[in-house]
Amino acid sequence: MNSLPSLRALQVFEAVGRYGGIIEAARRLGISAGAVSQQMKLLEDSLGLSLTFKVGKRIRLTAAGQRYHESCAAAFESLRIAQVEVERSKNASNLRISALPSLLSEWLAPLIYAWQSDHPGLNLFLDGSHAEPSPDGYEVDFRLTYGDLESTENAIELFRDCVVPVCSPGLLRDDQPLQTPADLLAYPLLSIDWLPKFASPPSWRDWFTAQAVDCSPLRDGYRVYSLSSMAIQAALSAQGVVLAQCSMIAGALADGRLIMPFAHALPMPSSYLLVGAKGAFDNAHCRDFHRWLVARGREQMLINQQLLAGSVP
């Protein structure tokens, strides 16, 4: 078959499958039940197979109909999402930002509301996702991601993060004081692993080696998280010590929910990047946001460089 069935017939079929019958589909679509039945017949004739069967006065999808409906439903959902994105793109008061989930929740979100308070007329859409948006799509104005600056188009470096050991004060025990880095081996050590999507942060073995600590007794893989924010939350709950990214723990350190027993930092293998979508800089508020966020990235970079130099700000 070289031609697709009628889009209207597909829309009606999707509604019949979603709402479980002709009458309800007709009500939802605002047409008659006879019109729904007619479109269903046109679709089945076009496909050359039956999509439904009767059970009493009701109809059910055949096995083939169920499989076909799954594909149709996914396609119409994609169309609905695309329509929403197009409508958003036409609104000059929208700012759409996509970011890696942990970077969004632990670094950007606490900062951006201060910026939005100076731009009260803007609508802010924040999407935490590992999926990179299409460079030609309507999805976002800016993407905050992680990786190699040289291989990322339209990107600028925000900052290169570093990791330091942190834990909840409630984790510490009087019989096991933290006087030297080696003392951390007596506590549960939480790990973060981003593979295969990204190069992972430095491991505990990397950190102990840098402190000249024999880590041969270290148990790799004790508890491993795929999201930095999850590992930090576990540390906040006194479940262990984590090598946390400095950008994500400033608030918890400031209010005492986390402590840094040793200010020995290791750099991340790559940097966080800010990527502007095509056409984003046509809007004044996007240009303003870009300048503001780059400045926040420079501030974070300075904090990280001080830690790496052994000086806690």
Q: Can you list the domains of the chain with their CATH numbers? A: 7-89 (1.10.10.10), 94-160+270-308 (3.40.190.10), 162-267 (3.40.190.10)
Residues 6+ apart with CB under 8 A from 260: 164, 165, 166, 253, 312
User: 22 near 35, Cβ under 8 Å?
Assistant: no
User: 223 near 232, Cβ under 8 Å?
Assistant: no
pLDDT band at residue 311 using 50, 70 and 90 as cut-offs: very low
User: 242 near 193, Cβ under 8 Å?
Assistant: no
20-54 b/e (C-beta count within 10 Å ≥ 16 → b): ebbeebbeebebeeeebeebbebbbeebeeebbee
CA–CA separation, 215 vs 223, rounded Å?
Answer: 17
Token pair 């759409």 is found at 96
Of 244, 207, 239, nearest to 227 by C-alpha is: 244
Q: What is the pTM of this model?
A: 0.69
CA–CA separation, 30 vs 163, rounded Å?
Answer: 58
Q: Strand 271-276 and strand 142-147: pairing?
A: antiparallel
140 DSSP 8-state letter: -
**Quick check: 75 pLDDT over 50?**
yes
Mean pLDDT computed over every residue of the chain: 88
pLDDT band at residue 199 using 50, 70 and 90 as cut-offs: confident
pLDDT band at residue 313 using 50, 70 and 90 as cut-offs: very low
Query: Using one digit for the tens of pLDDT, what is the confidence trace for 78-99?
Result: 887 777 666 656 656 788 999 9
Query: Using one digit for the tens of pLDDT, what is the confidence trace for 259-272?
Result: 999 999 999 999 99
DSSP letters for 211-234: TT---TT--TTSEEESSHHHHHHH
Q: Kindly state the average pLDDT of the residues 257-286.
A: 90
Give residue 137's pLDDT: 54
**Phi and psi, residue 90, nearest 5°:** -80, -10
**Quick check: 138 pLDDT over 70?**
no
Residues 6+ apart with CB under 8 A from 259: 166, 167, 168, 169, 253
Give residue 31's pLDDT: 92
Number of alpha helices (DSSP H) and beta strands (DSSP E) in the chain = 10, 12
Q: Kindly state the average pLDDT of the residues 155-172.
A: 95
Lowest pLDDT segment from 33-37, 57-61, 252-256? 57-61
**Quick check: 308 pLDDT over 70?**
yes
What is the helix (H) or strand (E) element at residue 128, kind and residue range?
A: strand 123-128
